[in-house]
């Protein structure tokens, strides 16, 4: 009996589990934010992989322009991007309006002159027509030069190539030259394939001039350093090949092949630095926007069309004029190379 009184008393406590209160699913929001951030991160990595250095520079300059005037553009077609895309050529692009338009001419006194109609041009004398065409050319050339210089100032990659690009006016038209500099060539020595720096400048020039009506002459120049004795390939072939390679590059980037008036290899006959025939600056490509007044027959009357006594060469130039409705694309498809 005593043993029964000493037995321990065991008390079992049982906890009743209660369900947690409803938490509202806040973790799902945080997880969705994390997944979205990861998706954006991998999308950025993919874009960095598929775009070229030039495209990255254009995109960067569009969102952080060095020139405040570019920030006011409402679309890429009005600034340095000018409608360029990072997608393959031809994908999701549309035909742009001409880069340069001339609704009138601003005079020093603030007034604007109205452009002449084709009927008015036909009634003008030869001297007045020549002056009108030259005035139009001067306006176009100023705008082309301004657009190129604005792009060079805005894009860092182009700014580094400013010394390689020369722009001036000659009796033939607006001359844009891609010039070798010491340590920064446009072509490999002795070869005709343009280097990436030259391609960048050629693409810029093509984009600016592609919608203008002026015909284009492309000319290659070399220095006076000769090839080895007995070499079959000389500076004549090299200068012509470089000019023709530039022509092909511009056609691949949107230039109409019927705009090409001629492609010339000038070798070492027209030095940029005559006193230094071996200077690298003599190795260059000249892209000349020819004046409309140099292309005969732009505004030809009916009487002239029935009785054309001009030399055959001038008749051929008139038929190749971009203002003519009848063009001969087969003869112009591969371009023409002239050797002086």
Confidence of residue 303 (pLDDT cuts 50, 70, 90): very low
Confidence of residue 327 (pLDDT cuts 50, 70, 90): very low
pLDDT of amino acid 93? 46
pLDDT digits (tens, 9 = 90+) for 187-225: 998 899 999 999 999 999 999 998 888 899 999 999 998
**Cα-Cα-Cα-Cα dihedral sign, residues 219, 220, 226, 227:** negative
- Percent of the chain at pLDDT > 70 equals 62
Partners of 177 in beta bridges:
166, 286
Q: How far is CA 128 from the centre of its chain?
A: 34
Neighbour-count burial for 152-182, b at 16+ CB within 10 Å, e otherwise: bebbebbeebeebbebebeeebbbbbbbbee
| Domains of the chain, each with CATH number or no CATH | 30-75 (no CATH), 133-297+310-338 (3.30.1330.60)
Q: Which of 92, 71, 99, 51 is nearest to 204 (CA)?
A: 99
Tell me the backbone φ, ψ of residue 177, rounded to 5 degrees.
-120, 130
DSSP-based three-state secondary structure for 76: helix
pLDDT digits (tens, 9 = 90+) for 167-183: 999 989 999 999 999 88
Q: Within a 13 Å sphere around the CA of 210, how many CA atoms are in the beta-carbon half?
A: 22
**pTM score:** 0.53
User: Would the pLDDT of 41 be above 80?
Assistant: yes
């Amino acid at each position: 009996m005593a043993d029964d009184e000493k037995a321990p008393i065991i008390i079992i406590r049982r906890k009743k589990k209660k369900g947690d209160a409803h938490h509202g699913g806040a973790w799902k929001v945080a997880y969705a934010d994390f997944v979205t951030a990861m998706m954006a991160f991998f999308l950025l990595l993919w874009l960095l992989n598929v775009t070229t250095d030039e495209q990255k520079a254009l995109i960067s300059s569009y969102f952080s322009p060095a020139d405040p005037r570019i920030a006011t553009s409402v679309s890429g077609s009005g600034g340095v991007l000018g409608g360029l895309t990072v997608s393959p050529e031809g994908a999701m692009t549309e035909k742009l309006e001409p880069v340069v338009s001339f609704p009138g001419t601003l005079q020093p006194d603030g007034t604007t002159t109205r452009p002449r109609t084709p009927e008015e041009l036909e009634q003008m004398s030869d001297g007045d027509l020549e002056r009108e065409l030259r005035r139009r050319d001067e306006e176009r050339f100023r705008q082309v030069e301004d657009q190129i210089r604005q792009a060079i100032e805005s894009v860092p990659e182009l700014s580094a190539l400013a010394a390689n690009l020369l722009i001036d006016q000659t009796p033939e038209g607006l001359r844009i030259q891609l010039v070798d500099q010491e340590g920064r060539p446009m072509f490999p020595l002795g070869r005709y394939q343009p280097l990436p720096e030259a391609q960048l400048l050629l693409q810029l020039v093509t984009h600016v001039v592609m919608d203008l009506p002026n015909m284009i002459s492309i000319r290659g120049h070399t220095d006076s350093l000769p090839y080895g004795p007995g070499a079959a390939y000389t500076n004549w072939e090299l200068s012509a090949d470089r000019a023709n390679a530039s022509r092909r590059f511009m056609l691949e980037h949107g230039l109409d092949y019927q705009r090409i008036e001629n492609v010339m290899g000038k070798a070492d006959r027209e030095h940029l630095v005559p006193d230094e025939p071996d200077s690298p600056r003599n190795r260059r490509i000249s892209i000349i926007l020819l004046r409309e007044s140099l292309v005969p027959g732009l505004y030809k009357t009916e009487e002239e069309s029935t009785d054309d006594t001009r030399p055959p060469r001038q008749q051929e130039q008139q038929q190749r004029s971009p203002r003519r409705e009848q063009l001969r694309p087969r003869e112009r498809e591969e371009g023409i190379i002239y050797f002086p």
